[in-house]
Amino acid sequence: MTALAHHPHPVTRAVADARKELSAVADTPVWSMNADDTTTTLHDLAALAAQVAELQARTLAHAGRVDLPAQTGATSTATWHAATTRTTKTHAHRTMRLADGLEHHQATRTALADGRLHVEQAEAILRALADLPDDLDPAITAAAEQRLLEYAREFDAKHLKVLGHRILEVTSPETADAHEARLLEREEQAAAAATRLTIWDDGHGKTHGRFTLDTLTGAMLKKHLHALAAPKHQASKGPLGERKPTPQRLGQALVELIQRYPKKRLPKAGGLNATVVVTMTLDALEGRLKAARLDTGERLSPGAARRLACEAGVLPAVLDGKSHVLDLGRKQRFASEAQRIAKTIEARGCEIDGCDWPPGMTHTHHHKRWTDGGNTNLRDLISLCPHHHARAHDPRYHLDQLPTGKYTFHRRT
């Protein structure tokens, strides 16, 4: 055994003793604790968790200084920590950020080590201090830290984050406005870069999604949905139990917002409003059991198709027994909206062999040009994506139809 084993470091010994003490009560039932003991224990456990977090962060910073990651070839202390403790990299990097922040802000470190802060509060304070201008007077930074520690006695991490954004209004009013403006601009730029939406269908009648919006747009969306889910609005639809908007109520409000959005306000793509087209047979329309299909490929029950047929932004297209579109289209110079819809239904996208552009983003092209005597009949129109539509008008290429019904280009000789 090494000398270190006989004379462990005080921190090592304290951690071992704490684990031993907690292990001794691991199987002790808590049912006999009265209300006061329960409250006191929970508060003490929260303080203990803060103390452990501070000690862990301090030890992790020390691991970086003695270059422990180099022993395993790890790329960073956080990566090494994740591997050796079997925690996720996300959690390890979060702990490392806490350790780095506490190294530069001793007052916050001391408060966490004393159990006077929760970890979330410490993280909020450290983020606020990190956002302060680099050229700020150190005395102002110290005053901001002290004021945030005072706020932590009354406010949780969420409120501390808000207070941290405006802390200079208290400690340095003359620099507060400029700092807030820079901070908001930076956040807005980051939000614009992070804006995204992903939607996927699970194949079992449900579509799922995830999105990230900037604060302004998010606030606007919440206003729209809460207005549709408001008690007064919902009361007109009959009794629904509780009146506070629930996730289900907000989901229903989103459905209503989308399905009832005015068709005339939708942008046009390929000469058409961004309208969902429901294709159904006469059997489905008349109430018999036959599935309908959206122009985007998904299938619907006949009942859902009949209900959607009268909603804004949804257009029913009735097909005869041979799947030909009925009552859509009329001969004229430019393809009518009805003809464009009919072509969208029949072509299901760009008609060039191998092209996978969706129907909502195609243009309607005359196979034989109008100026050359061509007609604006459905059989004479082709759905092309913008790229292939431009090539169709390029005199260097000739457009030919394949036996499959698709089209292809050949370079003229």
- pLDDT tens per residue across span 367-391: 776 556 666 667 778 888 878 887 8
Q: How many CA atoms lie within 13 A of 407 on its CB side?
A: 23
Q: Please return the burial class of 280, using the count of CB atoms within 10 Å of its CB with bins 0-12, 13-18 and 19+.
A: buried
The CATH code of the domain that includes 395 is 1.10.30
Q: Is 80 exceeded by the pLDDT of residue 2?
A: no
Beta strands in 154-270 (DSSP E): 196-201, 207-212, 268-269
Based on the fold, state whether residues 314 and 387 are members of the same structural domain: no
Based on the fold, state whether residues 81 and 152 are members of the same structural domain: yes
**Number of structural domains the chain divides into:** 4
d(CA 146, CA 107): 7
Residue 91 lies in a domain: yes
Based on the fold, state whether residues 286 and 371 are members of the same structural domain: no
Residue 136 lies in a domain: yes
- pLDDT tens per residue across span 124-158: 999 999 988 887 888 989 999 999 999 999 999 99
Cβ contacts of 259-265, under 8 Å, gap ≥ 24: 259/308, 259/311, 259/312, 259/313, 259/314, 260/311, 260/312, 260/313, 261/312, 261/313, 262/312, 262/313, 263/312, 263/313
Q: Is 80 exceeded by the pLDDT of residue 206?
A: yes
**What is the per-residue pLDDT for 297?**
64
Which residues partner with 409 through β-bridges? Answer: 399
Cβ atoms of 225 and 250 within 8 Å: the answer is yes
Full-model pTM: 0.53
Based on the fold, state whether residues 107 and 85 are members of the same structural domain: yes
Based on the fold, state whether residues 149 and 60 are members of the same structural domain: yes
- pLDDT tens per residue across span 258-294: 766 666 666 655 544 445 566 666 555 555 556 666 6
Based on the fold, state whether residues 139 and 61 are members of the same structural domain: yes
Two tokens, residue 91 = 């959690």
Based on the fold, state whether residues 150 and 221 are members of the same structural domain: no
**What is the per-residue pLDDT for 232?**
54
Residue 307 domain boundaries? 268-319
**What is the per-residue pLDDT for 278?**
63
Residue 15 lies in a domain: no
Based on the fold, state whether residues 283 and 397 are members of the same structural domain: no
- pLDDT tens per residue across span 393-404: 777 888 888 888
**For residue 347, which of 325, 374, 318 has the smallest C-alpha distance?**
325
Two tokens, residue 252 = 């229903």
Based on the fold, state whether residues 311 and 213 are members of the same structural domain: no
**What is the per-residue pLDDT for 330?**
35
